[in-house]
Amino acid sequence: MTPQLRTTTADKILIGFLFVLTVSSFFFVPRWVLSGAADVEIRSGEKILGRYSLSEDRILDVAGPLGVTSVEIKSGKVRIKSSPCLNKTCIQMGHFGSEGGCLICLPNEVVVGVGKEFHNGLDAVSR
């Protein structure tokens, strides 16, 4: 003989609370996830070449081992406009804006990062 499961008032309240929490998370979580980025960091190899604002339109030429990669910041978005690499995958990656992201031209060792805060590259320090 199997025991019968009964739903109590407390169970119904818990289920209702979890349902409301789940539905409301669809409206609030995307705002927490988006970075609200305002800065572009450009690297060539291991060197940081500069940090630039997304609000100022400009074209930057970044020298790499294969030649010059052109990075365009325009209308709050950044993209790799031209590059000497063979496949041009970095150009096809499109634009990134305040949502954050990373554009990489691996053959030419150029990295364009869009983010709110940039740190020194350390995940942790051990003593």
Distance CA 90, CA 72 (A): 13
Q: In angstroms, how far is CA 10 from the centroid of its own chain?
A: 42
Q: How far apart are CA 97 and CA 29, in angstroms?
A: 19
Angstrom distance (rounded) from CA 43 to CA 49: 5
- Sorted by where each starts, the structural domains of the chain and their CATH numbers stand as 39-115 (2.60.320.10)
Q: 4-54: per-residue pLDDT in tens?
A: 788 899 999 999 999 998 888 777 665 545 556 678 999 998 899 999 988
Place of tokens 């930057």: 60
**pTM beyond 0.95, yes or no:** no
Express each pLDDT in 72-112 by its tens digit. Answer: 999 889 999 999 999 999 999 988 888 888 899 999 999 99
pLDDT, position 68: 95
